[in-house]
Amino acid sequence: MCGAKQGGLDLKGVDVDKEAVIQGQVLRGEEPVGGAYVRLLDSTGEFTAEVPTSATGHFRFFAAPGSWTLRTLAPKADPVDRQVVAQYGEVAEVAVTV
Amino acid sequence: MSRESALVSADWVEEHKNDAGVVLIEVDEDVSAYDAGHIAGAIKLDWKDDLQDPVRRDFVNKDQFQALLSDRGVKNEDTVVLYGGNNNWFAAYAYWYFKLYGHGDVKLLDGGRKRWELDSRELTDEVVKREATEYKAKDPDLTIRAFRDEVNEAIGVKNLVDVRSPDEYAGRLLAPAHLPQEQAQRAGHIPTAANIPWSKAANDDGTFRADDELKQLYADAGVDFGKDTIAYCRIGERSAHTWFVLHEILGQENVKNYDGSWTEWGSLVGVPVALGDEPGEA
């Protein structure tokens, strides 16, 4: 889950030493899902941020170090929750399948 | 104001979007969202280029607002229906402008762009051009806008509602987590402010929760409905969402949006700041 992987979002311009980045891609089978909504919930389950996915299904958050939940909403699919740990100096990559 | 007068459903929009006198307007944080696809007939307002003064830290004045709406073909008597991404944050912010400048009939599409997309409803990239009008804005209604001195005097006196996420309130984050965190201002919140994230007022799909749930939410967090209320966030758009809930859906009087919000307060010399999860003392 951790460590930037090939094919992930380009990190140009992002200071990963100072940002606890969580990013990834939403997929339906092998196909990327654009226009899905990924919500970042804190360790108490409270909403912190939300982004729509890009046309290639990608999303990115600049979190604080700690444990988070990603909740993904997509058309014609049930919400999917994924746990993730963020820290400075590392990029947490998450693939979400709906 | 009430839910019935301030909100419309997606079904209502499908039924009335082509009616004469109904103008759909999309307002997004991501200003490219409209160009990729919008509800048929909707025009776009850019929250930054159209709604902010290009030089000063302030939003458009009365003359700029009426020039903008004249150019985009909005009439004073039109029913304006606003919607957008981010659970209607920026649409609620634009709604607050329309009220501030005295537009008669303005509504928000419940759930905004997200609910529309999750329902797989139709979007189009068709360019919309409306004929220019001669829109007349009213003088700003400052009963719904708070400035910093009034906020300072409200500490420990009025309801202050910080609608940012718990991590921003406590000072662990400086901006919503979909934005980079490096900022000039100090972290934390205005002492005595209750932290009631805007998101608690919305369902996951972006629609507003039921009236009784909303009342309970604010009452449980210590909002005294007998007192005046000032809501703030980072730049005033999420707090416009909460202003909408309190003033437009629940019909509370004397609710103001402090649009200077944390980017102003966190940069001011000489004002108190509280850190951590507790409201702090006056």
Measure the N-to-C terminal CA separation of chain A; round to a whole number of Å: 17
- As a whole number, mean pLDDT of residues A53-71 equals 94
Is A83 near chain B, with CB under 8 Å? no
**Considering the domain boundaries, does residue A59 fall inside one?**
yes
pLDDT at site A14: 81
pLDDT at site B91: 97
- Among all residues of B, which ones are annotated catalytic? 233
**Considering the domain boundaries, does residue A1 fall inside one?**
no
Taking a contact as any Cβ pair under 8 Å apart, which residues of chain B between 146 and 165 contact chain A? 165
**Considering the domain boundaries, does residue A32 fall inside one?**
yes
- Residues of chain B below pLDDT 70: 182, 184
Mean of per-residue pLDDT scores for chain A: 88
Nearest to A47 among B118, B165, B175 (CB): B165
Q: Cα B144 to the chain's mean position, in Å? A: 12
Residue by residue, DSSP assigns chain B as --HHHHEE-HHHHHHHTTSTTEEEEEEESSTTHHHH-B-TT-EEEETTTTTB-SSSSSB--HHHHHHHHHHHT--TTSEEEEE-HHHHHHHHHHHHHHHHTT-SEEEEETTHHHHHHHTT---B-----PPP----PPPP-TTSB--HHHHHHHTTTSEEEE-S-HHHHHTS-SS-TTS----SSPPSB-TT-EE--GGGGB-TTSPBPPHHHHHHHHHHTT--TTS-EEEE-SSSSHHHHHHIIIIIIS--SSEEE-TTHHHHHTT-TT---B-SSS----
Contacts of B67 (CB under 8 A, 6+ apart): none
The CATH number covering residue A75 comes to: 2.60.40.10
Taking a contact as any Cβ pair under 8 Å apart, which residues of chain A between 48 and 67 contact chain B? 48-52, 60-64
Chain B residues inside the 8 Å CB shell of A63: 173, 177
Diameter over CA atoms, chain B? 54
Is A80 near chain B, with CB under 8 Å? no
B145-186 pLDDT per residue, tens: 999 999 999 999 999 999 999 999 999 888 888 877 767 689
Is B148-265 the same fold as B3-118? yes
- Please say if the pLDDT value at position A93 is more than 60: yes
CATH architecture of B3-118: 3-Layer(aba) Sandwich (3.40)
Chain B residues inside the 8 Å CB shell of A56: none
Judged by CB atoms closer than 8 Å, whether chains meet at A46 and B118 is answered as no
Residue A65's domain spans which residues? 20-97
Measure the N-to-C terminal CA separation of chain B; round to a whole number of Å: 32
| B270/B194 Cα distance (integer angstroms) | 21
**Considering the domain boundaries, does residue A14 fall inside one?**
no
- Say whether domain B148-265 belongs to CATH 3.40.250.10: yes
Q: What's the pLDDT band for A60 if we cut at 50, 70, 90?
A: very high
**Considering the domain boundaries, does residue A56 fall inside one?**
yes
Residue ranges of domains in chain B: 3-118, 148-265
Judged by CB atoms closer than 8 Å, whether chains meet at B178 and A42 is answered as no
**Considering the domain boundaries, does residue A5 fall inside one?**
no
Nearest to A61 among B117, B177, B200 (CB): B177
- As a whole number, mean pLDDT of residues A79-92 equals 94
pLDDT at site A1: 36
A3-28 pLDDT per residue, tens: 334 456 788 878 888 889 999 999 99
pLDDT at site B182: 66
Q: Which residue of A has its CA nearest to B197?
A: A47
| B146/B156 Cα distance (integer angstroms) | 16
A26-49 pLDDT per residue, tens: 999 999 999 899 999 999 998 989
Count: domains in chain A = 1
Query: Residue A11 has what DSSP assignment?
Result: -
Compute the radius of gyration of chain A from its Cα atoms: 12
